[in-house]
Amino acid sequence: MFTISNLNKKDYGKILKIEKTLFINPMTLIELSNFSKQQCFHIWKIDIGKIIGYVSFFKIKDEAEIIKIGIDKFYQRKNYGSHVISEMKRIGIKKIFLEVSIENVEAINFYLKSGFYKTGIRKEYYKQKDGSRIDAITFSLEL
């Protein structure tokens, strides 16, 4: 069974663990706490409550800007990301915006396959471990 729910403080540890395995600059506990207060933050659970991923986004009327999506590596490429789109539709979102690193080929392919359109480039948007910066592709999807 697959469920989507709001983030609780008791979930922070698992979210941060997923973050550390996925991102060059993972969120800190303070950042996660701030995100959860300022944004919508949903987690995905399967079976007996195991957290497999999360999405953080700003919701403004019927639009959403996805800030971050993370799926535990073991559960990637198993179509769980598509549940984000279904959930956004369910809560009344009509348009989704996001950006992704130009190096994240898997995410880019997922978004294109899911019907997102490239809308532009944000120059030097993401900071790399070595301090250099890399471009991001912006995407949008009308639901």
Domain spans of the chain, in order of start: 2-142
Per-residue model confidence as pLDDT tens digits over 15-37: 999 999 988 888 889 888 887 77
pLDDT of the residue at 138? 98
Per-residue model confidence as pLDDT tens digits over 39-61: 677 777 776 678 888 888 888 89
pLDDT at 100 over 90: yes
Homologous superfamily (CATH) of 2-142 is Gcn5-related N-acetyltransferase (GNAT) (3.40.630.30)
Per-residue model confidence as pLDDT tens digits over 5-15: 788 888 889 99
Q: Is 50 exposed, middle or buried (0-12, 13-18, 19+ CB in 10 A)?
A: exposed
pLDDT of the residue at 108? 94
Confidence (pTM)? 0.83
pLDDT of the residue at 25? 81
Span between the terminal Cα atoms of the chain, in Å: 25
pLDDT of the residue at 99? 96
What's the mean pLDDT when you consider all of the chain?
Answer: 87
pLDDT at 1 over 70: no
Phi, psi of 50 (to 5 degrees): -70, 125
96 vs 103: CA distance, rounded Å: 21
